[in-house]
Structure 1
């Protein structure tokens, strides 16, 4: 089979397509013939050596997959089943490949309403948004929810999850993404380039931050007492945690993990027509380096996906 690997840290050019043996699934795993692979900003940082999570190269990137079960060593799936999910995170899942062995509990049946490309774009961003808003914050009807970067991967899914729960959704985006997030259901849209959300917002119940750059601490100013700050970027920031406690605000740092219950929750929303996944651009597997150049550029609407 073909895989995308790298022998050193660096820019997108370090990614190359080579031949490798097809993996053998272990008991409770399935072998998936990959149809599409979702790309995430973390993978660009790993490629460049900005995170030690996978150690030093050589390694194969990727966690988000959608495809067809080729071989099954579990009762949960049969050959021919269309599945999707996030495998083994944060350990290497080696998803930039034509085949991948995946624990069955890290997969769900692909909803018919999503293509393989759309399904591959969903797991990491969808699970991050679900675990933050549903599992941690218990988002409910009437809540005022601020979602930073609502036009991005996590943000555009988070808007839809919060709206499905009946929340009033506020989001920060660039002016060029206003119509995009309004179409997803955002009730209030703030241009982060022309205004300061921390000066104009108050009495927010829940904030979801996946941006960093001081956004988590500034968000404490807009939360009501007893509100909930959820951040994927400052989860170990002692100063933010201390300031949240002093302000009477709940603080949760989130690091996404495989979650079959949440994955089925996302499937339910998609099947009810309450969740759609926006894929800005696709690239064939052999153009993984070009896909990473686009990933490095940032400021995407939704997601980028490799097709296999």
Structure 2
């Protein structure tokens, strides 16, 4: 192993709305319970664009800062009190970019070892970097909150999206019958993941509830869209035993339709372990499950084919901001 450098390149956001600039920063030193990762790839999320624009107070990431929530790379140094990891391990995780913690848009990151899992053997570094936030969000909703299991009918709103396409595959892996909403142009992608596609633009809620559940309603509905889509979920859930989960339940909603069905609701806030320190080991455990599913051929990632180096991070962000991405956008930090 070559000697580590004293400095690293990082993409730094100086103020909200300003371009990111490559600068030299001191190499991070891994403290107790942390490992130093040489970052190979950094996954970008819509949340990153909101932080960058100054519209994500809930992420508590003061500027100037290094952005980037997801990473994949190689362990190059161990801090004190780290067990279970060795130099040379290929890892991935949702490790920073919020709460004042350095993000993944840098050549190295000192990260809490509890947040990491071993990279799926069949995934490239770019594919692994595209996985953490989306899969953790899907898992916390479907498994931790809704307890998805075989025989259930699950509806995923936004089934071709970053969280939605992973939620579809996760529900199928648990033996559920899966349906997913999307526009007509998403039909092929949704069906490719194994779900029954529903074009929400042309099919009213009552019609698809009748067509796919005999009017009974879905056992689990995972909303990844928010707004009126969450309200529609309250109309489509199964009485008594139905459960609605939302990763975007931040608006004002009338709960009467849900209450009249005697159904239940859960919210998902995936950033909480990063912001509070609580539950970080669970995030690592969730990603170990993602690795298992990927290694068994039950999990695929929707990755935008365009590649961007660290110096091209501005173009990568614009692709997301303009709605032109065709899957998860990943920045290649090191080969």
Compute the TM-score of the two structures, normalised by the length of structure 1.
Answer: 0.93
Aligned residues: 304
Report if aligned partners of 1:88, 1:106 keep a CA contact under 8 Å in 2. no
Aligned residue among 272, 275, 286 for 2:311: 286
Segments of structure 1 that go 5 or more residues without pairing to the other structure are none
2:87 is aligned to: 79
2:249 is aligned to: 234
1:222 is aligned to: 236
**In 1, distance between residues paired with 2:319 and 2:295?**
30
SS at 1:279 equivalent: coil
SS at 2:71 equivalent: strand
1:113 is aligned to: 122
C-alpha RMSD of the superposition? 1.8
1:162 is aligned to: 171
1:4 is aligned to: 11
Q: Deviations over 1:137-163 (max 9, x none)?
A: 111111111111111110111111111
Report if aligned partners of 1:151, 1:301 keep a CA contact under 8 Å in 2. no
Aligned residue among 132, 135, 138 for 1:126: 135
Report if aligned partners of 2:93, 2:117 keep a CA contact under 8 Å in 1. yes
Q: Deviations over 1:169-226 (max 9, x none)?
A: 111112122111111111x211233333354324111111111122111111111112
SS at 2:105 equivalent: coil
**In 2, distance between residues paired with 1:134 and 1:301?**
27
Residue 64, structure 1, aligned to residue 31, structure 2: no
SS at 1:171 equivalent: strand
2:27 is aligned to: 22
SS at 2:150 equivalent: coil
**In 2, distance between residues paired with 1:198 and 1:88?**
42
**In 2, distance between residues paired with 1:14 and 1:171?**
36
Report if aligned partners of 1:216, 1:240 keep a CA contact under 8 Å in 2. no
Report if aligned partners of 2:227, 2:249 keep a CA contact under 8 Å in 1. no
Report if aligned partners of 2:96, 2:104 keep a CA contact under 8 Å in 1. no
1:184 is aligned to: 193
Segments of structure 2 that go 5 or more residues without pairing to the other structure are 1-7, 210-214, 274-279
1:267 is aligned to: 291
Report if aligned partners of 1:151, 1:300 keep a CA contact under 8 Å in 2. no
**In 1, distance between residues paired with 2:256 and 2:32?**
45
SS at 1:162 equivalent: helix
Report if aligned partners of 1:207, 1:229 keep a CA contact under 8 Å in 2. yes
Residue 254, structure 1, aligned to residue 279, structure 2: no
Report if aligned partners of 2:37, 2:77 keep a CA contact under 8 Å in 1. yes
Compute the TM-score of the two structures, normalised by the length of structure 2.
Answer: 0.86
CA offset at residue 267 of structure 1?
0.9
Q: Which runs of 4+ in 1 moved over 4 A?
A: 240-243
SS at 2:285 equivalent: helix
Report if aligned partners of 2:35, 2:111 keep a CA contact under 8 Å in 1. yes
**In 2, distance between residues paired with 1:55 and 1:273?**
36
**In 1, distance between residues paired with 2:255 and 2:11?**
39
Asked which structure has the greater CA Rg, the reply is 2
In structure 2, do the counterparts of structure 1 residues 68 and 245 end up closer, same or farther at CA, with 3 Å as the change threshold?
A: same
Report if aligned partners of 1:76, 1:104 keep a CA contact under 8 Å in 2. no
**In 2, distance between residues paired with 1:45 and 1:114?**
28
**In 2, distance between residues paired with 1:199 and 1:49?**
40
